């Protein structure tokens, strides 16, 4: 039930106190979601701890392995990629690794090709799953999405229709006996629709990852937090290699390559300074 207290009263009640399921008691212990970090959770894998912090749930070893793979299979160390470029440029300009990687992670939230589109994917699968369960035809859900967004989040790829990450992920899903999960099957059923074939829209890696995480019980907000470091492993080599090369030599542009159409050569007026 929503609190009936006024805004000012809620602020007064919060003065001098922090409500949290975690905390640090100096010299004694650290509490993580209500449990002792060094006793109850000491054996957790880092990924397991991370997603436990996000969702409050514990995941099986097979589920944790799958979550690891979602990150690992998309860790491309290519400095030409939009977010990796930030990390590489930071190395080339001799910025610190922390600043460069933080900037790279920040731009990873790009709305049309970064994690922004991935969160739209899980939102679509969660909504479509509910609508289909309520009797709405799947093709109707897809048609509505195309009309609203001029596409379906999680389908299609700009440069090529082939996604090299899909075969190893499907192989792992089959190995772990997760290939029949309901949202994943929904995602594959969407791809098989004549409408999607007409538009040549195939399920991409982001869509598959979103469907998997929907099947693991994540909400849109939880999935967004899970995605935050998913490209990080591929960014580090981009920064490190650029930092080892001469400064400023990453993506240099010659003056002769710049097409300038502005005012022609002007004289310098000292009085204008």
Please tell me the pTM assigned to this model: 0.86
Question: Which uninterrupted H or E stretch holds 25?
Answer: strand 23-25
Going from N- to C-terminal start, the domains of the chain cover 30-59, 115-227
Whether 106 contacts 137, CB under 8 Å: no
| Structure token pair of residue 249 | 């030599």
Query: Does residue 112 have a pLDDT over 80?
Result: no
Higher-scoring residue by pLDDT: 158, 242: 242
pLDDT digits (tens, 9 = 90+) for 159-181: 787 899 999 999 999 999 999 99
Long-range contact pairs involving 129-138 (C-beta distance under 8 Å, separation at least 24) = 129/182, 129/183, 129/186, 129/214, 132/186, 138/186, 138/189, 138/190, 138/193
Looking at residue 272, the DSSP 8-state letter turns out to be G
The per-residue pLDDT of the chain, averaged, comes to 91
pLDDT digits (tens, 9 = 90+) for 200-221: 889 999 999 999 999 999 999 9
* Fold of the domain built from segment(s) 115-227: Cytochrome p450-Terp; domain 2 (1.10.230)
Could you tell me which residues come within 8 angstroms of residue 186 by beta carbon, excluding any fewer than 6 positions away? 125, 128, 129, 132, 138, 211
Q: What is the pLDDT of residue 150?
A: 86
pLDDT band for position 265 (cuts 50, 70, 90): confident
Q: Give yes or no for residue 187 having a pLDDT over 90.
A: yes
pLDDT of 86 over the 90 cut:
yes
Rounded to an integer, what distance in angstroms lies between the CA atom of residue 64 and that of residue 81? 27
Q: How far is CA 182 from the centre of its chain?
A: 22
Alpha-carbon distance 273 to 257, whole Å? Answer: 30
- What is the pLDDT averaged over residues 93-113? 91
pLDDT at 90 over 70: yes
Count of CA atoms in the C-beta half-sphere (13 A) of 248: 2
């Amino acid at each position: 039930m929503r609190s009936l207290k006024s805004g000012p009263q809620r602020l007064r009640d919060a003065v001098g106190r922090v409500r949290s399921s975690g905390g640090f008691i100096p010299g004694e212990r650290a509490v993580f979601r209500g449990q002792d970090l060094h006793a109850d959770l000491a054996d957790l894998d880092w990924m397991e701890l991370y997603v436990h912090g996000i969702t409050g749930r514990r995941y099986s070893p097979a589920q944790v392995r799958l979550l690891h793979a979602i990150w690992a299979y998309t860790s491309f160390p290519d400095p030409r990629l939009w977010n990796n470029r930030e990390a590489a440029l930071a190395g080339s300009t001799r910025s610190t690794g922390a600043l460069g990687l933080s900037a790279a992670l920040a731009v990873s939230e790009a709305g049309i090709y970064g994690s922004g589109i991935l969160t739209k994917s899980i939102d679509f699968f969660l909504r479509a799953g509910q609508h289909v369960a309520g009797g709405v035809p799947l093709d109707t859900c897809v048609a509505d999405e195309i009309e609203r967004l001029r596409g379906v989040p999680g389908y299609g790829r700009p440069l090529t229709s082939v996604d090299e990450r899909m075969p190893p992920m499907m192989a792992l899903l089959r190995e772990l006996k997760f290939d029949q999960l309901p949202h994943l099957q929904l995602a594959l059923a969407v791809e098989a629709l004549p409408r999607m074939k007409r538009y040549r829209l195939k399920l991409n890696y982001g869509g598959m990852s979103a469907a998997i995480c929907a099947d693991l019980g994540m909400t849109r907000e939880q999935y967004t937090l899970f995605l935050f470091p998913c490209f990080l492993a591929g960014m580090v080599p981009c920064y490190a290699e650029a930092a080892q090369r001469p400064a400023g030599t990453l993506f240099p542009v010659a003056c002769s390559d710049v097409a300038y159409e502005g005012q022609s050569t002007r004289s310098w007026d000292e009085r204008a300074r």
